């Protein structure tokens, strides 16, 4: 993992402001910033080809009004940041297609959210008397069962099994992808029907006790519900919860309007998927992976989808998929999943386009946000390419450090265990019977569940060496106070138990030089990093011209209401 240059805050990073990704771009004036007309849109800092106007620096400097030390420290920090960003630009680091895509995606994320909040606030209002009506319907408590899975066909099959008499709780234990549902066998509640999650609330409408809902696609996957029982309960006084009710109603109204809006935007903007593109992309994603096999240059430049006023290339789409958070529901080797994802991502692109039509991308807060996000990404890349290669120590230097700090380089006590797991009612019953009869559960890897994530390579029941910090509480105290060949059962959830037997104890000891490499390198960097970066910044300051509007800076140092220090 790349070390982040942004950890060197006081040296090169000024959080809360940045420079324009494009050269010589002035910020929109913020009338509420407290600036006089003299400085609001004036360039107050120039480093190389990069300019910053007063409006962007006011929020940063205002918090240090009258403190000459902090104002000048922040100014120096910003200049250092701009020097490195200027050098990064001249090296071409900020104009690669990877950087251009990063900028587009971060801006798209912000603009789509800002525009959606704006349009919903404009279009959705709270109808009269709805808060009182909502309150009058509160008090009906529900206990209900739910099953959530990632696939619609599976969800439909499970619903049919329940109709045919299968136990819904057993199916939830086996198939549900929501940990809370698995832990309770799908049983949820009690919850006031009016306070249920919006997607559950919609499914409850018109249901009688014992009836199954229709299938529904929520943010968690495909699901269906069944009302198991109901009862009446008291509610808090109206005045105490009326604001909460108003917010909940508005949230639900916005959800309904949002879905209609999304369908309309896709239709009006004619979102079209290129024929055959989903199959081509799916063929390059191995099963259970978000890392794709290379495409040809011609394929990367193909248009994956287009809409009125915009389009995405195949490269842009597959890179977006590759950077998604890893989830079991992500299946980019499936053309149908890719088609559904394009429908979602294309919508997001359209939302961002609508925001640009309103010039939301030029708002000062958006400009500042993007300057910071993009600048930090460029700095991280610059660190890896320019600074990190200068922080490679010789073995002799590392050995010197080791000899100085070796007394503190301790390897904790480590223990090796046998382990096996029982998952589900059938395996739990089997494990209990084997233990009661004096049998060996660790010989039953076919009947029980192996714990692959902590097993040593090539082993079926023997774990890797683990220290106390590797095991979460409260089991760490139990396992690291046990005696040799003593067994312990750790209940992870209502239907999962891990069984451990202590097999080996490796006492605490001093780490060897070879074992200390991962800790010695950060120590060397912490000693050398500031020297390297300071030297680099000094060198850059002689290459790039810097010009400061001292009148602007001094206006934050000298204050009638605060003590003033000379800079």
Residue 328 in tokens: 């079991």
User: For 258, phi and psi rounded to 5 degrees?
Assistant: -60, -45
- Look at 13 and 482; give whichever has higher pLDDT: 482
Q: How far is CA 84 from CA 42, 113, 372, 541, in A?
A: 23, 31, 14, 10
What is the tally of helices (H) and strands (E) in the chain? 20, 16
Please list the residues that pair with 410 across neighbouring strands: 510
Beta strands in 54-150 (DSSP E): 140-149
Report yes or no: 45 and 79 within 8 Å, Cβ to Cβ.
Answer: yes
pLDDT value at residue 30? 36
Q: Which of 405, 407, 404, 398 is nearest to 510 (CA)?
A: 407
pLDDT value at residue 88? 96
Q: How far is CA 265 from CA 9, 79, 139, 310, 544, in A?
A: 42, 44, 38, 13, 47
* Tokens 């009258």 found at: 66
Helix axes 238-268, 97-123, angle to 10 degrees: 120
Contacts of 262 (CB under 8 A, 6+ apart): 347
pLDDT above 80 for 483: yes
Residue 21 in tokens: 């990704």
Helix axes 68-90, 550-557, angle to 10 degrees: 150
- The class (CATH top level) of 410-510 is alpha beta
The three-state (H, E, C) secondary structure of 442-487, written as one string: HHCCCCCECCHHHECCCCCCEECCEEHHHCCCCHHHHHCCCCCCCE
Phi-psi region of 186 (alpha: psi -120 to 50; beta: other; left: phi over 0): left
pLDDT above 80 for 34: no
Band of the pLDDT at 27, cuts 50, 70, 90?
Answer: very low
pLDDT value at residue 37? 57
Please list the residues that pair with 212 across neighbouring strands: 226
Burial 261-286 (b: 16+ CB within 10 A, else e): bbeebbeebebebbeebbebbbebbe
Report yes or no: 329 and 154 within 8 Å, Cβ to Cβ.
Answer: no
pLDDT value at residue 228? 93
Give the chain's mean pLDDT.
Answer: 87
Considering only 83-92, 179-188, 301-310, which range has the smallest mean pLDDT?
179-188
Please list the residues that pair with 271 across neighbouring strands: none
pLDDT value at residue 266? 94
Percent of the chain residues topping a pLDDT of 70: 91
Interval 309-336 mean pLDDT: 92
Report yes or no: 431 and 542 within 8 Å, Cβ to Cβ.
Answer: no
Q: What's CA 449's distance to the chain center, in Å? A: 31
Considering only 198-207, 290-299, 348-357, 389-398, which range has the smallest mean pLDDT?
198-207
Residue 146 in tokens: 């739910």
- Look at 250 and 326; give whichever has higher pLDDT: 250
From the number of C-beta atoms within 10 Å of its C-beta (0-12, 13-18, 19+), residue 472 rates as exposed
Identical fold for domains 139-234 and 410-510, yes or no, is yes
Interval 231-257 mean pLDDT: 90
Task: Measure the CA–CA gap between 89 and 83, rounded to whole angstroms.
Answer: 10
pLDDT above 70 for 5: no
Domain boundaries, the chain: 139-234, 410-510
Interval 377-390 mean pLDDT: 94
Q: Which of 179, 178, 210, 204 is nearest to 191 (CA)?
A: 204
Task: Measure the CA–CA gap between 445 and 450, rounded to whole angstroms.
Answer: 6
Interval 201-212 mean pLDDT: 88
pLDDT value at residue 218? 75
Task: Indicate the SS3 state at residue 67.
Answer: coil
Task: Indicate the SS3 state at residue 509.
Answer: strand
Q: How far is CA 292 from CA 273, 323, 324, in A?
A: 20, 11, 13
pLDDT value at residue 559? 54
Task: Measure the CA–CA gap between 554 and 561, rounded to whole angstroms.
Answer: 15
Given CA atoms 77, 83, 86, 91 in this order, what sign does their dihedral have? negative
Interval 352-371 mean pLDDT: 93
pLDDT value at residue 328? 67
Task: Measure the CA–CA gap between 171 and 157, rounded to whole angstroms.
Answer: 11
Helix axes 517-541, 68-90, angle to 10 degrees: 90
Which pLDDT tens digit goes with each residue over 74-107?
Answer: 999 999 999 999 999 999 999 999 999 999 999 9
pLDDT value at residue 197? 81
pLDDT value at residue 565? 43
User: For 513, phi and psi rounded to 5 degrees?
Assistant: -60, -45
pLDDT value at residue 316? 97
pLDDT value at residue 383? 94
Please list the residues that pair with 414 across neighbouring strands: 467, 506
pLDDT value at residue 326? 81
pLDDT value at residue 42? 87
Residue 371 in tokens: 């300057």
Contacts of 277 (CB under 8 A, 6+ apart): 302, 304, 305, 314
Report yes or no: 502 and 417 within 8 Å, Cβ to Cβ.
Answer: yes
Instruction: Give 139-234's CATH code, choosing from 3.10.50.40, 1.10.150.20, 3.30.465.10, 2.60.320.10.
Output: 3.10.50.40
């Amino acid at each position: 993992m790349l070390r982040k240059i942004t950890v060197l805050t006081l040296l090169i990073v000024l959080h809360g402001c940045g420079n324009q990704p494009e050269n010589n771009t002035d910020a929109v004036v913020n009338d509420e910033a407290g600036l006089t007309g003299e400085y609001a849109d004036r360039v107050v800092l120039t480093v190389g080809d990069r300019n910053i106007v007063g409006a962007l620096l006011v929020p940063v400097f205002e918090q240090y009004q009258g403190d000459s030390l902090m104002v000048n420290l922040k100014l120096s920090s910003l200049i250092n940041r701009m020097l490195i960003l200027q050098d990064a630009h001249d090296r071409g680091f900020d104009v690669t297609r990877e950087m251009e895509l990063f900028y587009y995606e971060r801006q798209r994320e912000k603009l789509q959210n800002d525009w959606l909040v704006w349009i919903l606030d404009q279009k959705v209002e709270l109808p009269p008397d709805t808060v009182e009506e909502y309150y009058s319907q509160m008090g009906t408590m529900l206990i209900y069962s739910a099953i959530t899975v990632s696939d619609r066909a599976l969800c439909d099959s499970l619903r049919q099994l329940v109709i045919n008499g299968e136990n819904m709780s057993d199916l939830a234990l086996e198939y549900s992808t929501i940990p809370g549902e698995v832990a309770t066998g799908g049983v949820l509640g009690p919850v006031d029907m009016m306070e249920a999650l919006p997607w559950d609330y919609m499914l409850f409408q018109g249901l009688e006790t014992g009836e199954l809902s229709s299938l529904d696609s929520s943010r968690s996957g495909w699901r269906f519900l069944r009302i198991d029982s109901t009862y009446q309960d008291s509610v808090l006084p109206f005045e105490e919860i009326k604001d909460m009710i108003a917010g909940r109603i508005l949230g639900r109204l916005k959800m309904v309007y949002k879905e209609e809006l999304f369908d309309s935007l896709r239709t009006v903007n004619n979102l079209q998927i290129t024929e055959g593109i989903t199959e081509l992309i799916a063929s390059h994603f191995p099963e259970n992976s978000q890392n794709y096999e290379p495409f040809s240059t011609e394929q990367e430049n193909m248009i994956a989808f287009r809409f009125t006023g915009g389009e995405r290339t195949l490269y842009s789409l597959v890179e977006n998929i590759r950077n998604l958070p890893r989830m079991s529901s992500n299946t980019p080797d499936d053309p149908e999943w890719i088609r559904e994802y394009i429908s979602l991502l294309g919508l997001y692109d359209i939302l961002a386009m609508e925001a640009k039509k309103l010039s939301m991308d030029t708002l000062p807060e958006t400009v500042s946000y993007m300057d910071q996000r993009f600048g930090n990404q460029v700095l991280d890349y610059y660190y890896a390419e320019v600074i990190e290669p200068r922080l490679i120590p010789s073995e002799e230097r590392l050995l010197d450090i080791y000899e100085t700090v070796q007394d503190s380089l301790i390897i904790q006590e480590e223990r090796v265990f046998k382990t096996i797991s029982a998952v589900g009612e059938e395996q739990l019953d089997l494990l209990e019977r084997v233990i009661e009869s004096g049998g060996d559960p660790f010989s039953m890897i076919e009947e029980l569940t192996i714990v692959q994530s902590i097993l040593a390579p090539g082993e079926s029941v023997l774990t890797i060496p683990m220290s106390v910090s590797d095991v979460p509480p409260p089991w760490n105290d139990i396992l690291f106070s046990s005696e040799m060949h003593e067994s312990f059962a750790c209940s992870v959830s209502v239907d999962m138990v891990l069984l451990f037997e202590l097999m080996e104890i490796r006492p605490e000891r001093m780490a060897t030089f070879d074992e200390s490499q991962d800790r010695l390198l950060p120590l060397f960097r912490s000693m050398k990093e500031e020297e390297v970066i300071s030297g680099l910044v000094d060198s850059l300051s002689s290459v790039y011209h810097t010009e400061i509007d001292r009148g602007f800076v001094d206006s934050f140092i000298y204050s009638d209401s605060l003590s003033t220090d000379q800079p």
